[in-house]
């Protein structure tokens, strides 16, 4: 094996789990997350010798994941067709402390793609608003409003039903 392959393998072994968590948050599905991360890492490997700043590798891979996910989402959107009958909504889970994480995951999964990406990058990856803006290719103001609207939606969904206003 050459030095490039060894360096890449060491990077993937060290950062793979963290990058997979980000991919899971972006896709909302562990299987899709593995595919997303693999595609992003394949692109990264092809560009490995051109990436001069090794400290920026995580940002490069995250940006690749966001771009690939958006591309896949657009492609899937074209393949979806309305059904004649709506499926029955899933049963609402009972709110409890032991289920709080699961409820948060489900609420995140229901967010639109850009909102989910912004929240994941902000609160799971602890990125600043300018970093998120650069990663998503949007303005800082759009990041602020997107995260704000996403958090409002999450708060609205995660309120205990007895506390909701009639």
* Sequence-ordered list of residues with C-beta below 8 angstroms from that of 48, at least 6 positions apart, any chain: 4, 7, 8
* Model confidence pLDDT, tens digit, residues 48-59: 888 888 888 888
Shared domain check, 113 and 70: no
**Comparison of pLDDT for 127 and 159, the residue scoring more:** 127
Domain interval for residue 120: 93-161
pLDDT surpassing 70 at residue 165: no
**pTM (whole model) above 0.75:** no
* Mean of all residue pLDDT scores within the chain: 83
Shared domain check, 11 and 75: yes
Let me know if residue 166 belongs to a domain: no
> Any idea how long the chain is?
166
Q: ∠ at Cα 151 (145, 154), nearest 5°? A: 145
Let me know if residue 88 belongs to a domain: no
């Amino acid at each position: 094996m050459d030095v490039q392959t060894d360096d890449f393998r060491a990077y993937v072994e060290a950062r793979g789990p963290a990058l997979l968590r980000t991919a899971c948050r972006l896709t909302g599905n562990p299987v899709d997350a593995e595919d997303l991360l693999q595609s992003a890492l394949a692109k990264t490997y092809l560009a490995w010798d051109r990436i001069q700043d090794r400290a920026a590798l995580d940002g490069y891979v995250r940006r690749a994941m966001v771009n690939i996910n958006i591309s896949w989402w657009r492609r899937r959107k074209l393949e979806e067709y309305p059904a004649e009958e709506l499926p029955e909504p899933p049963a609402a889970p009972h709110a409890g402390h032991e289920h709080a994480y699961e409820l948060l995951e489900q609420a995140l999964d229901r967010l639109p793609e850009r909102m989910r990406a912004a929240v994941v990058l902000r609160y799971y990856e602890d990125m600043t608003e300018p970093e998120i803006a650069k990663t998503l290719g949007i303005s800082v103001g759009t990041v602020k409003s997107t995260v704000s609207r996403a958090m409002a939606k999450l708060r609205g969904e995660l309120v205990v039903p007895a506390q909701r206003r009639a």
